[in-house]
Structure 1
Amino acid sequence: MDIIVDLPALRILLITIIILSVLIEIKTGGTGFGALLGITAAAVFWGSGYISGLVNIYHIALFLGGILFIIIEVFTPATGIFAALGIVMMLYSIILGLGGDIGAVYMLAGSLIIAVFLFILIVKKLPSSIFWQKMILKDSSSSAKGYISSTDRSFLLNKEGVVLTELRPAGTILIDGSPIDAVSEGSYISRGERVRIIKTEGNRIIVRQV
């Protein structure tokens, strides 16, 4: 059994299952499937490693501590710090469990790539937890939902009108029979004076006295 589990391909598979189970639990918020899958893979990985002397209690405790932080994040309205810390602890413990060398980093990187790829394939079919909804921005700022960008008033450029209320420098002018809020270049312009629109910046209309 120890010889089989020590095969690099099988260890990568076990780590992939562990990482994938964590992603599933974060997405679903504790439905149990991801946890059961991950516990089984983790038990085989850490159990065989401990029996063969490749890992010690510290490595296992570090891994379990990472899981605890992720659970805290899922079931409490935290800001993500617990989940980030938990993931770092789990990944570091796995690197130590694989030997703590550059080969362990490569094996972990390969497992991460495979796990993320598999997660992308199934993510839309999984229910979403509150924590997942906090991480993912679902709504768009569309005009149908009441979000309106700055109005383009460039068509008013170079038009002339009359000052309705003194520009000090802000006030109101009359253009083509419609009152429009405007700002002078900086100087005071009294009521009744004629002005020309020289610049438009979104809703901001800048005028100059004729």
Structure 2
Amino acid sequence: MSKWLKLTFVTWITAFLLTPFYMLANQSHDGKKQVFVIPVEQTVERGLEAFLARSFKEAEASGADRIILDIHTPGGAVDAAGNIANIINRAQIPVTAFINNEAISAGAYIALNADDIVMAPDGQIGSAGVIDGDGNAAEEKMQSLWISRMMTAAEEYGPDGGRDPAYARAMADRDFNVDGFEPGFLTLNADQAYEVGYAEAIAANLDEVITYLGYEQDDINIVHAEVSIAEHLARFVTHPFVIPILLSIGSLGLVMEVYSPGFGIPGIMGISALLLFFYGHMVAGFAGWESLILLGIGAVLLGIEIMVPGFGIFGILGTGFILGGLFMASFSTTVMVFSVAIALVLTIILAVVLFVFFGDRGPWKRLVLQTPAVATSGDELVQSGAVRHLVGVEGKALTDLRPSGIALIQDERLDVVSEGGYIAKGSQVKVVHASGARIVVRALE
């Protein structure tokens, strides 16, 4: 038996013998029960959903006796709240919602799916109307579905067979009122929630919650689930308002790189923004390696396109692969469609501002080579970036321009790209734009 085979055999035997001890080490220490405290903070979105899914799995794997959701959120995405509710409902461990200090909108729905609710003295729950991105009430169909979900959560969960669904409906329906409360989306403070059965206890801190649940501090181990740095980044990157910003930076950087000689700051900026998008979505569990592979293929194709004047087949395919990767990584096709549309509009506007209004002035000089026209050959002229003086000069197409090709301008063979479509070989052309290594020509009648 070879040395490596022996080593492998010993490793497997050791792992087999140590497995029971490893499993025991992950159970409650010294016979104590474990209570997992999981924070539900900031905006409810898909990054939070991924964090809660991981935390619940860890709690179940460790044999936890109870999960406490430490809730302090102003609400957020309805779809993420629905998925979080499913995580809570599928859990084999009792779940207590500790509202400290607010469970508003989607946060109220999450709390209503817990087995019991405990509120801080200054806690609030409610105001759960569905609002769109413009701050207006969502369409009637979505409102109706959300109201139904709120009422169902109130009826099915909580002690003693559920809670009065009328209050849940009043939280989500501004036109439905309950006696003793002001019209509009209902919000209950701690005393009101306790009085109407939407809170089982009022506790000033976590220790009082533990006491309410019937545990002795010396008989339990409290495990605080913490959001990792990667998950913090994922929560930020997967926010619906951040996604279009990243895509805008990425697309604008790539556009600027096409018009800049070599590979520099714009390209690094664009690729970094796209990589950050994919990394955050992979950490959150929405993107797989297939989406990153599509991004890599698209980047390679765009790199080939940058080396060849004009926007041809490689550019089109590269853009298509990158878009395919974006949609595969997205948790919502709707969010991605809007994000891509916003990024496209912003990129066009900013590109126009940079190229038309600033030109080669100010900070733009650092991105576009400004070497004077001292080259003696066509290749050296293009490499030096000194082609701006060619604007207005006429020449002759030495090859078909589809849209890129070669033209004879001032007795120099230069790589050019047509302003529009196809230009036949032998046609007279005129330079209409020249910047960096890019020379754009127009066919003369």
Give the secondary-structure state (helix, strand or coil) at the position aligned to 2:281. helix
Q: 1:64 to 1:134 in 2, by over 3 A?
A: same
Q: Per-residue CA shift, 1:122-164, capped at 9, x if unaligned?
A: 1233649897962547636xxxxxx997xxxxxxxxxxxxxxx
Q: 1:49 to 1:76 in 2, by over 3 A?
A: same
Q: Which residue number in structure 2 is paired with residue 55 of structure 1?
A: 287
| CA distance in structure 2 between the partners assigned to 1:36 and 1:79 by the alignment | 20
**Which aligned pairs between 1:83-122 and structure 2 lie closer than 5 A?**
83-99=315-331, 101-122=333-354
- Which of 68, 74, 92 aligns to 2:306? It is 74
| CA distance in structure 2 between the partners assigned to 1:31 and 1:104 by the alignment | 28
Give the secondary-structure state (helix, strand or coil) at the position aligned to 1:28. coil
| CA distance in structure 1 between the partners assigned to 2:335 and 2:277 by the alignment | 17
| CA distance in structure 2 between the partners assigned to 1:7 and 1:120 by the alignment | 28
Percent identity between the two aligned chains: 20
**Which aligned pairs between 1:55-204 and structure 2 lie closer than 5 A?**
55-76=287-308, 80-99=312-331, 101-123=333-355, 124-125=359-360, 127=368, 134=417, 136=419, 139=431
Tell me whether 11-20 or 34-43 shows the greater mean CA deviation.
34-43
| CA distance in structure 2 between the partners assigned to 1:79 and 1:98 by the alignment | 27
Give the secondary-structure state (helix, strand or coil) at the position aligned to 1:139. strand
TM-score (norm 2): 0.29
Whether the 8 Å CA contact 2:254–2:271 is kept in 1: the answer is no
Whether the 8 Å CA contact 2:282–2:288 is kept in 1: the answer is yes
| CA distance in structure 1 between the partners assigned to 2:335 and 2:307 by the alignment | 35
Q: 1:77 to 1:133 in 2, by over 3 A?
A: closer
- Aligned amino acid, residue 139 of structure 1: V
Give the secondary-structure state (helix, strand or coil) at the position aligned to 1:8. coil
| CA distance in structure 2 between the partners assigned to 1:11 and 1:88 by the alignment | 18
Q: Which residue number in structure 1 is paired with residue 242 of structure 2?
A: 10
Asked if 1:38 is matched to 2:330, the reply is no
Give the secondary-structure state (helix, strand or coil) at the position aligned to 1:120. helix
Whether the 8 Å CA contact 2:250–2:273 is kept in 1: the answer is yes
Q: 1:117 to 1:47 in 2, by over 3 A?
A: same
- Aligned amino acid, residue 80 of structure 1: G
Q: How much has 1:29 moved relative to structure 2?
A: 3.8
Q: How much has 1:97 moved relative to structure 2?
A: 2.0
Whether the 8 Å CA contact 1:94–1:108 is kept in 2: the answer is no
| CA distance in structure 2 between the partners assigned to 1:148 and 1:86 by the alignment | 32
Q: Per-residue CA shift, 1:77-108, capped at 9, x if unaligned?
A: 68711111111111222122223623311211
Q: Which residue number in structure 2 is paired with residue 171 of structure 1?
A: none
Q: Per-residue CA shift, 1:22-55, capped at 9, x if unaligned?
A: 1011111433111211232123211111111111
Whether the 8 Å CA contact 1:29–1:74 is kept in 2: the answer is no
> Number of residues paired by the alignment?
143
| CA distance in structure 2 between the partners assigned to 1:135 and 1:96 by the alignment | 35
Q: Which residue number in structure 2 is paired with residue 192 of structure 1?
A: none
Tell me whether 3-12 or 15-24 shows the greater mean CA deviation.
3-12
Q: 1:120 to 1:57 in 2, by over 3 A?
A: same
Tell me, which stretches of 5 or more residues in structure 2 are unaligned?
1-231, 370-381, 384-403, 405-414, 421-429, 433-442
Give the secondary-structure state (helix, strand or coil) at the position aligned to 1:36. helix
Asked if 1:26 is matched to 2:309, the reply is no
| CA distance in structure 1 between the partners assigned to 2:277 and 2:311 by the alignment | 31
Q: 1:28 to 1:59 in 2, by over 3 A?
A: same
**Structure with greater helix share of residues:** 1
Q: 1:104 to 1:56 in 2, by over 3 A?
A: same
- Aligned amino acid, residue 45 of structure 1: F
| CA distance in structure 1 between the partners assigned to 2:272 and 2:284 by the alignment | 18
TM-score (norm 1): 0.58
Whether the 8 Å CA contact 1:17–1:41 is kept in 2: the answer is yes
